Amino acid sequence: MKGTILGRGFISGEDGERYSYHPSEIQNLQGRDPQALSGVRVDFEASADENGKKVAKAIFITMGAMLKFDFTNINSDDIMGVRLKMLISMLLYLFTFIPFAGILFLIIAVILEFISISRLNQLAGSQTLFRNWIISMLISIFVGGTVAIIAFFDIAIRIIRIMSESIGGASVLVVFGIAVGIFWFKYTYNYYNELSKLSSKRLFFYAFCTKVAGVLLCLTYVGFIVGVPLYYISIILIIAAWWQFREIHTSSYQRVETN
């Protein structure tokens, strides 16, 4: 019989019935996480246990089992809806380098990310996830806006030069820059660290490390060539992590099912 895995332990058969199963019955996991197969199409042998309960045996993941975007979930408030919006958001971040259109992509990406993290914060019952993200994002927007002003308005460059000419002005700039950097690192680290724990996906933490390396390298003339690619690699890692995100692991290590 053909069917679809609904979540941990259950398959919806084409006959309209639900069958329970054990991960050991899946014949071709091939490195997949047995706890993250929601929505995967399978073939299986319909059977029953000694109590008459319907069970699935000899389960085989079919060729059409590659995970796909299901846009019907985009307005959903469950984990799958959050996941889909975040995947779209991260994909849009990859195209923010495009002149003019990139600004629109950036705005849409930030809005989708705002909605998704806010909802994930509620689903996980977290007191800090959304707060850490919003502070990290505000600092990033502030720094990005400042860099844009310096790049496009000569008056800003003149002000920086005037301040840099005095020892006191230079000290203020250095101290302010270090303070902003420390705050950004703290809240960004807390966000990715918590996200890594909630999803049980270390890819989020690796993405954070790659992003930090890219940002630090961008501060140097030589490292800029390597820093920008590292930043985009971090986004790709985040996309891969969200692609694998299927359930929330709460602080009490209880699991919130996607279905």
Q: Please report the pLDDT score of residue 65 as a whole number.
A: 47
Q: pLDDT, tens digit, for every residue of 149-194?
A: 565 555 555 665 655 555 555 566 667 778 888 998 999 999 999 9
Q: Please report the pLDDT score of residue 34 as a whole number.
A: 74
* Residues 199, 133, 183, 216, Cα dihedral to 10°: 70
Indicate the pTM of the whole model: 0.65
The stretch 233-259 carries a mean pLDDT of 70
CA distance 39 to 4: 6
DSSP state of 172: H
If pLDDT is split at 50, 70 and 90, which confidence band does 258 have?
very low
* CA distances from residue 62 to 23, 39, 49, 243, 246 in whole angstroms, order as listed: 15, 12, 24, 19, 20
If pLDDT is split at 50, 70 and 90, which confidence band does 240 have?
very high
CA distance 123 to 86: 15
Structure tokens that stand for 256 in this block:
């919130």
> Is the Cβ–Cβ distance between 62 and 42 less than 8 Å?
yes
Percent with pLDDT over 90 in the chain: 34
Task: Please choose, from the candidates 244, 235, 257, the residue with its C-alpha nearest in 3D space to the C-alpha of residue 91.
Answer: 235
Q: Is the pLDDT of residue 204 over 80?
A: yes
